[in-house]
Amino acid sequence: MADYNYQDGKKRIEDILDNTLKVIENDKIPSGDNFTFDNAYYGWVTGIFIDIRDSSNLFSDGDKEVISKMIRSFTSEVIEILRNDNNLREIGIRGDCVYGIYTTPLKKDILEIADKAFFINTFLKMLNKLLAKRGMPNIKVGIGISTDKELVVKAGRKGVAINSSVWIGDAVTKASNLSSLGNKNGYAPIVMGGTVYNNIIEDLQKRNSSKDVKSWFTKRYTSDLGRFYDANIVKTQFNEWINSGMQ
């Protein structure tokens, strides 16, 4: 391995620090093609994280074929639910967690991400029935959603194909933290930040005019996460299909 050329490194750092960088404030975060090493964007972002509960014990039975099938079944369909959105800006897998990051300049955009959480929560019922039918253990997840304004920066090494977007703010970090609460210690599977709740509750009520939608949510508070809400919401038609035998 060649030694690190620290003299060249010093020059690269000075070029970055002394270069003019334009921070563009825009409610909508553009697609990756608009990012360069000379700009950054600041706008509304919603993150959703789906975190498998107790994965160390769940996948410790030693049957590598079963574990592989379970992980692949889970990630395949969660990614399918997350990816179908023009506002998607990043999607990926971190360990036992699948996540999506979206630009959400409008209330309806945030509601669409909440809808993905409802679909994923319902999908887990289908997946667990199919796993149980084959004698495989069930999977439980926590689903965290958070919305905030974030600074998005293209980071990495200019001139080589090693770079990625860095999301600086509360949306992505908080979504990850909220997902770690879901389906644990009395919390429901879906856990959303206060900004998400505030932006979806009116339209969600309009969509379900005959129901008391606010009663679906439990208001929570912690000193580190502030106000947030948890719920166990499913997509009705999908859920009825599962309960009727999935035929």
Residue 2: DSSP 8-state: P
Is residue 34 assigned to a domain? yes
Mean pLDDT of 207-232: 96
Band (pLDDT 50/70/90 cuts) for residue 26 is confident
Q: What three-state secondary structure class fits 239? A: helix
- Count how many domains the chain has: 1
> pLDDT per residue over 131-147, tens digit each?
998 888 899 999 999 99
Determine which helix (DSSP H) or strand (DSSP E) holds 203, and give its type and residue range: helix 194-207
Band (pLDDT 50/70/90 cuts) for residue 24 is confident
Q: What is the b/e burial string over 149-166, where b = at least 16 CB atoms within 10 angstroms of the residue's CB? A: ebebbbeeeeeeeeeebe
Q: What three-state secondary structure class fits 46? A: strand
Q: In the prediction, which pLDDT does 8 show?
A: 79
Task: Answer whether residue 195 shows pLDDT above 80.
Answer: yes
d(CA 64, CA 53): 19
CA torsion angle for 194, 200, 204, 207 (degrees, to 10)?
A: 180
Is residue 200 assigned to a domain? yes
d(CA 42, CA 56): 37
Task: Answer whether residue 1 shows pLDDT above 60.
Answer: no
Confidence (pTM): 0.89
DSSP E strands in 84-184: the ranges are 88-94, 97-103, 141-157, 162-168
Full residue range of the structural domain in which residue 206 is found: 21-243
> pLDDT per residue over 53-101, tens digit each?
888 777 776 678 888 888 888 999 999 999 989 999 999 998 889 999 9
Is residue 97 assigned to a domain? yes
What are the start-end ranges of the H helices in 134-193? 170-179
Task: Answer whether residue 236 shows pLDDT above 80.
Answer: yes
Across the chain, what does the average pLDDT equal? 88
Question: Given its phi and psi angles, is residue 195 left (phi above 0), alpha (psi -120 to 50 degrees) or beta?
Answer: alpha
- The closest alpha carbon to 27, from 83, 94, 103, 126, belongs to 103
Is residue 2 assigned to a domain? no
> pLDDT per residue over 118-131, tens digit each?
999 999 999 998 99
Is residue 62 assigned to a domain? yes
Q: In the prediction, which pLDDT does 185 show?
A: 94
We report the CATH number of the domain holding residue 148 as 3.30.70.1230
